[in-house]
C-alpha cells in the first residue's frame, strides 16, 4: 500500500506547507462521513516530472482532509493495444479506478495538449467491464503544468475526457505556467496565487465527492442501461457487444 503514497515521503518535513493550512472546518465536516477514495494520475515519465510534483501536492492536501489517496505510477504501462489487457499495470490501473470515488488528473501540456503518457492511461480504462463502470459517477479534478506561459488547452481536453468517461468534473481547475519556476529544491510548490488555487481545487473536489457519493447510483441510473439489463439479463462489456 505504501507504494501508492509516495507523496508522504518528504525531502524536508519542515517545509511541509500543507501541514500549516487552515482546513479544520472541512476536516470536521469530513469526519461525519466515510473516507473517500481518491485516485491521482499524472502524465510524465521524466525523472523530475512537474506533473508528478503537482499531483503529490494535491495528494497531500486531500490526505490531510482525511481521504484515502493513491497515486498511480504510469511507468511500465504498455501502449494501448489489443493484446495487453492482462498486463499487470493495466489490471492495476483498472482496479484502482474501480476502487476510487474521485480522480485527480494532472497532465503536462506538450504541443498544445495532453501528453501521450497521460492519454494512454485514460485509454486503458474502459467505459464498461460488463456491469462494472470504472469511471462512471466519479468526481474529477483537473490540472495542468506548462513549461511556458499560461494555457488552458490541456485542462480543456481533460474536461472533455472527463465528460466522455461519464465523470462529474468540478468547475474549478488548476493551470500552472512556467512550472519549473513554481517548485523549490525540495520539490514543493512555492507560495503564490497558483498554490492557493491548488488548495481551492482540492477542497472543491473533496466537497463535491462527499455530497455526490451518496447519490451516485441515482444520478447514474440510465434508461438505456435498464433496457439492456431487461433484454440481456445484465450489462454487456464492449467486447460482448461486438460479438
Mean pLDDT score of the chain, rounded to an integer? 92
Distance (Å, rounded) from C-alpha 198 to C-alpha 180?
16
Write the pLDDT tens digit of every residue in 35-77. 999 999 999 999 999 999 999 999 999 999 999 999 999 999 9
Output the pLDDT for position 101.
Answer: 97
* Confidence band for 197, pLDDT divided at 50, 70 and 90: very high
Q: Give the domain CATH number at 54.
A: 3.40.50.360
Mean pLDDT to the nearest integer, 6-35: 92
Mean pLDDT to the nearest integer, 8-32: 91
Using DSSP's 3-state secondary structure scheme, residue 175 falls into strand
Provide the grid cell at 151.
Answer: 494555457
Domain enclosing residue 43, as ranges? 2-242
Distance (Å, rounded) from C-alpha 240 to C-alpha 235?
10
Task: Report pTM.
Answer: 0.93
Using DSSP's 3-state secondary structure scheme, residue 210 falls into helix
Q: How many Cα neighbours within 13 Å face the side chain of 201?
A: 30
Number of domains in the chain: 1
- The distance from CA 144 to its chain's CA centroid, rounded to whole angstroms, is 12
Asked if residue 239 has pLDDT above 80, the reply is no
Reading phi first (left if > 0) and then psi (alpha if -120 to 50, else beta), residue 216 is in: alpha
Tell me the residue length of the chain.
243
Handedness of CA 97, 99, 105, 110 (dihedral sign): negative
Handedness of CA 63, 156, 122, 240 (dihedral sign): positive
Amino acid at each position: 500500500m505504501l507504494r501508492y503514497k509516495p507523496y508522504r515521503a518528504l525531502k524536508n518535513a519542515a517545509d511541509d506547507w500543507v501541514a500549516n493550512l487552515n482546513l479544520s472546518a472541512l476536516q470536521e465536516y469530513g469526519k461525519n462521513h466515510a473516507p473517500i477514495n481518491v485516485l491521482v494520475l499524472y502524465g510524465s515519465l521524466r525523472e523530475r516530472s512537474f506533473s508528478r510534483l503537482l499531483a503529490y501536492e494535491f495528494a497531500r492536501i486531500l490526505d490531510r482532509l482525511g481521504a484515502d489517496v493513491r497515486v498511480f505510477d504510469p511507468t511500465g504501462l504498455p501502449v494501448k493495444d489489443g493484446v495487453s489487457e492482462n498486463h499487470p499495470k493495466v489490471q492495476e490501473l483498472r482496479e484502482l479506478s474501480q476502487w476510487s470515488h474521485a480522480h485527480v488528473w494532472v497532465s503536462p501540456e506538450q504541443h498544445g495538449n495532453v501528453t501521450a503518457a497521460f492519454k494512454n492511461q485514460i485509454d486503458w480504462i474502459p467505459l464498461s467491464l460488463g456491469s462494472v463502470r470504472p469511471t462512471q459517477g466519479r468526481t474529477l479534478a483537473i490540472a495542468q503544468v506548462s513549461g511556458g506561459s499560461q494555457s488552458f488547452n490541456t485542462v480543456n481536453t481533460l474536461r472533455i475526457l472527463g465528460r466522455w468517461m461519464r465523470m462529474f468534473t468540478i468547475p474549478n481547475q488548476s493551470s500552472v505556467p512556467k512550472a519549473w519556476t513554481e517548485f523549490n529544491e525540495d520539490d514543493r510548490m512555492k507560495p503564490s496565487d497558483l498554490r492557493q488555487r491548488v488548495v481551492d481545487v482540492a477542497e472543491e473536489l473533496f466537497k463535491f465527492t462527499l455530497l455526490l457519493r451518496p447519490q451516485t447510483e441515482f444520478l447514474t441510473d440510465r434508461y438505456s442501461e435498464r433496457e439492456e439489463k431487461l433484454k440481456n439479463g445484465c450489462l454487456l462489456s464492449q467486447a460482448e457487444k461486438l460479438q
